[in-house]
Amino acid sequence: MSSEKNPNSAPAPASNFIRAIIEKDLGQNKYASKKWAGSPGDAQHHETGEVDFAKIRTRFPPEPNGYLHIGHAKSIFLNFGLARDFGGICHMRFDDTNPEKESQEYVDSISDGVKWLGFGWENHGPNGSESNLYFASNYFDFMYRAAESLVENGFAYVDEQSADEMRINRGTLTEPGKDSPFRNRSALENLARFREMRDGKHADGSMVLRAKIDMASPNINMRDPAIYRVRRAHHHNTGDKWCIYPMYTFAHPVEDALERVTHSICTLEFEDQRPFYDWLLERLADAGLLAHPLPKQYEFARLNLTYVVLSKRKLIQLVEEKHVSGWDDPRLPTLAGARRRGYTAAGFRLFTDRIGVSKADSWIEYTILEDCMREVLNVDAERRIAVLDPIKLVIDNYQEGRSEDCFAPNHPLKPELGKRTVQLSKELWIEREDFMEEPSKGFFRLTPGGMVRLRYGYVVKCTGCEKDANGNVTTVHCEYLSDTKSGTPGSDSVKVKGNIHWVSAAHAYECEVRLYDRLFKEAHPGEGDRDFLDDINQSSVQVITAQLEQSLQDAKAEDSFQFERHGYFVADSKDSVAGKPVFNRTVTLRDAWQK
């Protein structure tokens, strides 16, 4: 049965550069006087609050335009884990500033994923309880006010160049950009134009609001970046109130500041955006809109994992073009898919601790993730017997209609879990590979004249087999040695090298089992000029009918087991019903891809 542990009960991971930064900041009392009014807000709002009881504030800010994936798990454990370890709070914030790609379905799935990993946003402190679940769209009013402040102070202007003109005039990595012909309008002109944008008087894409910084900056991101655009689209939270929306690079630092985030932890692709992050917050603080100390952004290397794609665009393509059955397909690297596959939150915690946090991009082998899941499941999953490729074994000298109890430990590492009863009868199911009429060298299982032990049962001697018209073996015959039953004084009277598992044909549960493998056959799907879809592993799932020990018929959705000799399996959360579970293979007992 599943015995999922709280993934947050493990010891804190080894130190890394982000932890060192936080330790230094706390040692210097950098945030000791920071005020918090109990909810996000501007400088005036927080001035009414008390000194923040949270020593640090981090945030996990997913955009609700897709399902969370394995890379997000790393960020979740990092942000929530740092807050937990340093006496702080991590905010759950939906960065829903792009109305065209967002939906409530994604909001719900993201919330479920964070909770499944063991984290929440209801927090309790000396000033009372607070829910730290936030939506960036709730800050649109302030963002608009902040944009007007930039315009009024000469730090932003409305640009009416076409997208192509803006791109050409932006310059290159070696050549400076050119000033827009609209760059030197007066603040009053820009303010009037911006309000016309807000009031819907201009067409989508006809103009943008740009920050006024430096078109000759060596950092292209500082060459007057766009901060607002005209976009008529229905928003899942604000409806049709707005026809202008902030750009992410503008919205994100504002959101952090309103929430009094101390350490804004991003992946490395945002490193070049950090100067704008700091520039913007300083201008808004100078205008009296935001309070010091301001958030600081820090970047770490995102997760690059072999044999998967983590690009949202590619994941959406896989789902929409039906290369997979949905966002929760067990072959996908989404958290919903991983959970349905039988991966565990504790396994992801071990994985993120093991790969660590660094500033250097690198590739992580998928086998490391699989090994972490094996390591956790080896401890947590009870053992059961399953025959995945069944062939009939008949014990000719066993009494017809008779059955007897054999006893199998529920977990070899946990004797306190005791033993369970498995029935033995005249006809059994065994694995097809456990019989060879003409054995190869080193084969110690069933062969004519050979002897093996039926695990937890008797020693049997093979007497022959039956075949169909095509020469395929259909039934194996044997005789049992009645004084050799496991657990009895005579169990060691006959020594054999082979030991095979089995289930009673009269008591077995016939079950659908899905043998999942990697979705891609190449370590780097789509590398070079290849289409990543050409690298799909056409054998990534095999659906079989297996014979399982009777107790597995009572398994509930998401119960995990080790099927002896085969690997770890989970009762499917979607297709299992009471009394008729369907099982998915989570991971084999060892690396099946090892070359």
Active site residues: 63, 302, 312
Give φ, ψ of 586 to 5 degrees: -80, -55
Q: Which amino acid is at 156?
A: A
Q: Residue written as tokens 């891609």?
A: 520
Paired tokens of 317: 């393509």
Q: Which amino acid is at 548?
A: L
H/E stretch holding 527: none
Paired tokens of 451: 């002897």
Paired tokens of 435: 């019989």
Q: Which amino acid is at 104?
A: Q
H/E stretch holding 477: strand 473-480
Paired tokens of 166: 């803006």
What is the rounded CA–CA span in Å between residue 256 and residue 240? 25
Q: Is 465 helix (H, G, I), strand (E, B) or coil?
A: strand
Query: Do 134 and 58 meet the contact criterion of CB atoms below 8 Å apart?
Result: no
- Could you give the C-alpha distances from 541 to 86, 514, 515, 516, 519, in angstroms and in order? 43, 7, 5, 4, 8
Q: Is the peptide bond before 293 cis (omega within 30 degrees of 0)?
A: yes
What is the rounded CA–CA span in Å between residue 472 and residue 92? 59
The separation between the first and the last C-alpha atoms of the chain, rounded to the nearest angstrom, is 33
Give φ, ψ of 382 to 5 degrees: -70, 160
Q: At what angle do helices 140-152 and 187-198 cross, to 10 degrees?
A: 160
What is the rounded CA–CA span in Å between residue 591 and residue 595? 9
Query: Do 150 and 164 meet the contact criterion of CB atoms below 8 Å apart?
Result: no
Give φ, ψ of 91 to 5 degrees: -85, 140
Query: Do 323 and 541 meet the contact criterion of CB atoms below 8 Å apart?
Result: no
Q: Which amino acid is at 42?
A: D
Q: Residue written as tokens 């302030």?
A: 142
- How crowded is residue 300: how many other Cβ atoms within 10 Å of its Cβ? 21
Go through the chain and tell me how many residues it has.
595
Beta pairing partners, 369: none
- How crowded is residue 501: how many other Cβ atoms within 10 Å of its Cβ? 23
Of the candidates 285, 265, 291, which has an alpha carbon nearest to the alpha carbon of residue 51? 291
Q: What angle do CA 362, 368, 369 make, to 5 degrees?
A: 105
Q: Is 470 helix (H, G, I), strand (E, B) or coil?
A: coil
What is the rounded CA–CA span in Å between residue 207 and residue 193? 9
Paired tokens of 355: 């790969």
Query: Do 59 and 65 meet the contact criterion of CB atoms below 8 Å apart?
Result: no
What is the rounded CA–CA span in Å between residue 185 and residue 209? 12
The HSE-up count of residue 35 (CA atoms within 13 Å, CB side) is: 14
Paired tokens of 515: 């043998």
